[in-house]
Amino acid sequence: MCGIMGYIGDSEPTKIILEGLAKHEYRGYDSAGIAVIKDGAIQEIRTTGRVCQLAEKVKETGFTGEFGIGHTRWATHGGVTENNAHPHISSDDKVVLVHNGIIENAREIRAELEAKGIKFHTETDTESAVQYLGYVYDGDPKGAIVKLTKRIRGAFALVIMFYDKNEEFWVVRKGSPLVVGHAGHEGFCASDPTALLEYTRDVWFMDDDEMAQITREGCKFFDFNGVEHEKKTMHLDWDSAMTSRGEYAHFMLKEIHEQPDVMTHTLLGRVANNEVDLSRELDWTPEQVKGWKKIHFVACGTSHYATMIAARIMETLGNFEIRTEVASEYRYMNIPIGPDTLAIFVSQSGETADTLHAARLAMSKGAKCLVITNVRGSTIHREVGDALVTPAGPEIGVAATKTFTAQITILTLLGLYMAKLRGELLPEPEKNLVGALMDIPAKLSRILDQEKVIEQIARNFADARGFFFIGRGLAYPPALEGALKLKEISYLHAEAYPAGEMKHGPIALLDKELPVVALVPKGFLWEKTISNIEESMARKSPIIAIATEGDEEIKHYSENVIYTPATEPELFPFIAVIPLQLFAYYVARQRGCDIDMPRNLAKSVTVE
Ligand code: M6R
């Protein structure tokens, strides 16, 4: 939530900062601003709306400076107004900063400073930090920041400039992501490493309770007591071309189309001769794996649905005792967690605050923890250590797509590997399932070939009042994901239910304006799902069916059939999700929604 960027060097700072903010826009996009140091004074320009509107304003006014900081906002405290937009400047014009996070004791600090006669101008929590800094600043930036870190509570990534320091800016981190880079005579900081790829691929991920001074000459790192320390860079294995939209109308569409390749890359090096081998990444022994009596999957949103699929697949592979929990709830559950627990945290971004806090809790209780993330070096990766990194490349669309496919691929491999180490999976079923998994990328490409059919069906239903998604067994979690995709980007109400549960209440809502998307693959639950489709039809709900190629009978129930290739029953979620993503995409497109940056959402949710 919120993207921040800082730059010092010989290039035009507004250009670099605007380009960086554009790359951060998926983190928040309700207002944006830049501050620069120019002729020994702080100057700023802000606007409500998008980074492109800020860019227009910069161009019109000829706004420029020597170096600067920028921000794109996802409002937490205070409405979406230009006045609340960052950067914020202290009343004495000595300090300016941008902030990502929440300052929890902002009210208390504000009251204290107002009592001393300092005037506040915004409704934001951030202003308490900048006013406090202005109040304590006496020409020593490091000393003032040390005092600030002892005064504020909450989560914060801050980038700070001081009016009389014409050769440096400062960054501070506790709880919100921040990455620093340096190349030649240029220093950078950003919330997200993708914003730095154009300049350097060797970066420093800031840790909690850490601050840094960035100058043209280099970066110096300090703890919150101001004591300097050495810090190692991390090499990013992404490149800047991966962050371009190419020929596609939206990042989401591009990322949907990348899924066959993403899945192939995820399998690469992890399977050989139809067998799974994760020993290069996990040094687990059979004894250890047998010792983990409980498996907890913890995640949020789409990543949570990926874990639901993983759990159901794993239950078919071995004798696992599994819980899948939403991270924001896991933290407050009174359940036994200990050394006999393997807690698996799944987070595309690796920065989701709820998941991170849940991981800290599990670590503190002695559980063995593992992370599945798409961002090497992300906070959760660094803190937990043991990780399987999905090679999906940067995902820019706010709605997760390709990372979901990568997650369920790697989680399926993990399930197979664990069942094997526990001695519960025989070679033949392993070979069969791995073989079937390796066939999936080609099947995904075949589904993508049906894009036009899916687009037409989506157009036909774009004016619906809302949608139900139903499925049974392994068709239920993808129904949840399909409904989430649709509501996120089209703003239509969409609800997913296990098909058999509809009659226990939700069926009361059905009528001719409420279509039902039924996931009905051929298999032992086909007939039962068909009964639920009949029940929906009896209430006049139009049916959109996701069915298996060759299923002619389904046409008796629906005129809107999206056919998917047959696969092993366990792997149906892989096959089901692309039609659902495309359906959501084209409904949203028909409705004229802002697909890559849906309202009220942010890609990386770094507040609780
Ligand atoms: O980065 P994470 O996987 O931890 O993110 C979790 C959710 O915030 C995320 O999946 C969210 O639900 C997406 N917008 C789904 O499209």
In percent, how much of the chain has pLDDT > 90? 89
Q: How far is the CA of 303 from the centre of ligand 1 (A)?
A: 6
Residue 197: pLDDT over 80: yes
| The two structure tokens encoding residue 279 | 């020993």
Residue 191: pLDDT over 80: yes
Residues ≥6 apart with Cβ < 8 Å to 43 = 35, 36, 37, 63, 65
Residues ≥6 apart with Cβ < 8 Å to 53 = 32, 47
Residue 195 burial (CB count, 10 A): 26
Omega before residue 87 within 30° of 0, cis: yes
> Torsions phi, psi of 84, nearest 5?
-85, -10
Residue 544: pLDDT over 80: yes
Residue 462: pLDDT over 80: yes
Task: Quickly state the pLDDT bin for 586 (edges 50, 70, 90).
Answer: very high
Cα separation, 209 vs 264, in Å, equals: 39
Q: How far is the CA of 354 from the centre of ligand 1 (A)?
A: 11
Place of tokens 């390749």: 261
Ligand 1: lining residues by beta carbon, under 6 Å: 300-303, 347-349, 352, 355, 398-400, 488, 601, 604-605
Can you point out the beta strands (E) in 40-151?
41-48, 67-73, 88-89, 95-103
Give the tens place of pLDDT for each residue, 467-491. 999 999 999 999 999 999 999 999 9
Contact 554/545 with Cβ under 8 angstroms? Answer: yes
Contact 133/90 with Cβ under 8 angstroms? Answer: yes
Task: Return the pLDDT at 316.
Answer: 93
Helix 402-421 and helix 427-448: axis angle, to 10°?
A: 170
Residue 608: pLDDT over 90: no
Task: Quickly state the pLDDT bin for 311 (edges 50, 70, 90).
Answer: very high
CA-nearest residue, atom 4 of ligand 1: 347
Q: Which atom of ligand 1 is nearest to the CA of 354?
A: 4
CA terminus-to-terminus distance, the chain:
11
In percent, how much of the chain has pLDDT > 70? 100
Residues annotated catalytic, as ranges: 2, 603
Place of tokens 């040390």: 146
Give the tens place of pLDDT for each residue, 118-164. 999 999 999 999 999 999 999 999 999 999 999 999 989 999 999 99
Q: Which atom of ligand 1 is nearest to the CA of 349?
A: 1
Average pLDDT for residues 257-269, to the nearest whole number? Answer: 97
Q: How far is the CA of 301 from the centre of ligand 1 (A)?
A: 5
256-259, long-range: CB within 8 Å, 24+ apart, which pairs?
Answer: 256/401, 256/402, 256/448, 256/578, 256/581, 256/582, 256/585, 257/448, 258/392, 258/393, 258/402, 259/401, 259/402, 259/405, 259/441, 259/444, 259/448, 259/578
Q: How far is the CA of 350 from the centre of ligand 1 (A)?
A: 10
Residue 595: pLDDT over 90: yes
Q: Which atom of ligand 1 is nearest to the CA of 603?
A: 14
CA-nearest residue, atom 11 of ligand 1: 301
Out of 29, 176, 352, 600, mutate this one to test ligand 1's pocket (max ligand atoms within 8 Å of CB): namely 352
Out of 297, 300, 346, mutate this one to test ligand 1's pocket (max ligand atoms within 8 Å of CB): namely 300
Residue 284: pLDDT over 80: yes
Residue 26: pLDDT over 90: no
CA-nearest residue, atom 9 of ligand 1: 301
Residue 223: pLDDT over 80: yes
Mean pLDDT is lowest, of 8-22, 190-204, 236-250, for: 236-250
| The two structure tokens encoding residue 436 | 């079937």
Q: Which atom of ligand 1 is nearest to the CA of 399?
A: 16
Residue 1: pLDDT over 90: no
pTM of the model: 0.87
Give the tens place of pLDDT for each residue, 50-63. 899 999 999 999 99
Mean pLDDT for all residues in the chain: 95
Residue 237 burial (CB count, 10 A): 11
CA-nearest residue, atom 12 of ligand 1: 301
Task: Return the pLDDT at 75.
Answer: 77
Residue 372: pLDDT over 90: yes
Residue 74: pLDDT over 90: no
Q: Which atom of ligand 1 is nearest to the CA of 355?
A: 4
Q: How far is the CA of 351 from the centre of ligand 1 (A)?
A: 10
Average pLDDT for residues 523-541, to the nearest whole number? Answer: 94
Q: How far is the CA of 300 from the centre of ligand 1 (A)?
A: 6
Task: Return the pLDDT at 383.
Answer: 95
Average pLDDT for residues 564-584, to the nearest whole number? Answer: 97
Q: How far is the CA of 256 from the centre of ligand 1 (A)?
A: 16
| The two structure tokens encoding residue 473 | 């067994």
CA-nearest residue, atom 8 of ligand 1: 301
Average pLDDT for residues 102-108, to the nearest whole number? Answer: 95
| The two structure tokens encoding residue 193 | 């490493």
Q: Which atom of ligand 1 is nearest to the CA of 485?
A: 16
